[in-house]
A and B are shown apart, each in its own frame.
Chain A
Amino acid sequence: KQEVTQIPAALSVPEGENLVLNCSFTDSAIYNLQWFRQDPGKGLTSLLLIQSSQREQTSGRLNASLDKSSGRSTLYIAASQPGDSATYLCAVIGYNQGGKLIFGQGTELSVKP
């Protein structure tokens, strides 16, 4: 059974700092991994999708990496801003999961001005 874990559960940083969020998964037989952002009381916004054959994806100040063999992904946020404050969720779709996403519990990020 696929399990996804995110560390840390919460993170507070000063504005301008670079930061890394971690995600690990137990079954490496995945199609892809997605990172999402969720603002309080809102739905999920897809940030980056990394296919299993890829090592990383970049969008603006965000860079996500994937090491499938070790079951790890990181989301790097450069030059953090208060507007980045949100919960970040990672999720995987595995070969044995019927096409559905399995989520971690999220990392709540607070960027202080």
Chain B
Amino acid sequence: DTGVSQDPRHKITKRGQNVTFRCDPISEHNRLYWYRQTLGQGPEFLTYFQNEAQLEKSRLLSDRFSAERPKGSFSTLEIQRTEQGDSAMYLCASSLGVAGNTIYFGEGSWLTVV
């Protein structure tokens, strides 16, 4: 257990529904990252926050995706109008301080869109 927790661990949803994932980082970590991983591939960067500021968003993050980190603590990733191509594992990670410190990952949230 790295200390980064994600909820829910598994979600099955019908195409067109909205889903939301939550991530609680290690308590003193100011940086929080979201990644997406499909079978047989490495994780792909989606977005990251430093405290409550969203500093970068990948082109993978379409208009249907939104992430927030109110008050610089937990974060949510919402996917609106889900599509089958959104089926993947969504990983959250956190780190302390500046770039270059160890990044710790949670167990991930599996999404299956049927």
| Cα distance A28–B41 in the bound complex, in angstroms | 23
Question: Given contacts A41-B110, A46-B104, is CB(A99)–CB(B98) below 8 Å?
Answer: yes
> How many residue-residue contacts, CB under 8 A, span A and B?
70
Q: Cβ of A105 < 8 Å from any Cβ of B?
A: yes
Give min CB distance, B91 to chain A, whole Å: 6
Which of A43, A93, A98, A105 contacts B56 (CB under 8 A)?
Answer: A98
Q: Which residues of B contact A91 (CB under 8 A)?
A: 42-43
CB of A43 within 8 A of CB of B91, answer yes
| Complex contacts, A41 vs chain B, CB 8 Å | 110
- B11 CB to nearest chain A CB (Å): 14
Question: Is A100 an interface residue, CB under 8 A from the partner?
Answer: yes
Contact with A along B64-100 (1 / 0, CB 8 A): 0000000000000000000000000001010100111
**Contact assessment for A43 and B106 in the assembled complex, using a CB-CB cutoff below 8 Å:** yes
Q: Which residue of A lies closest to B42 (CB)?
A: A103
Q: Is the interface of A mostly helix, strand, loop or mixed?
A: strand
Judged by a CB distance under 8 angstroms, whether B53 is at the interface is no
A98-B99 in contact given A43-B105, A45-B2 (Cβ < 8 Å): yes
B33 within 8 A of A: yes
CA distance A51 to B107 in the complex (A): 25
In the assembly, what is the distance between CA of A13 and CA of B102, in Å?
30
Asked, given contacts A99-B48, A100-B33, A100-B48, whether A42 binds B107 with beta carbons under 8 Å apart, the answer is: yes
Contact assessment for B45 and A101 in the assembled complex, using a CB-CB cutoff below 8 Å: yes
B103 surroundings in chain A (CB, below 8 A)? 34, 46, 93, 101
A contacts, CB < 8 Å to B: 4, 6, 31-32, 34, 36, 41-46, 49, 51, 89, 91, 93, 97-106
Q: Which positions in B face A, CB cutoff 8 Å? A: 2, 4, 6, 31, 33, 40-45, 48, 55-56, 91, 93, 95, 98-100, 102-108, 110
- Known pairs A43-B4, A104-B42. 6 more at Cβ < 8 A? A41-B110, A43-B91, A99-B98, A100-B56, A102-B45, A103-B43
Q: Name 13 interchain pairs, CB-CB below 8 A, sorted by A.
A: A4-B42, A6-B42, A34-B102, A42-B107, A43-B6, A44-B43, A49-B102, A91-B43, A97-B99, A98-B48, A98-B99, A100-B56, A105-B40
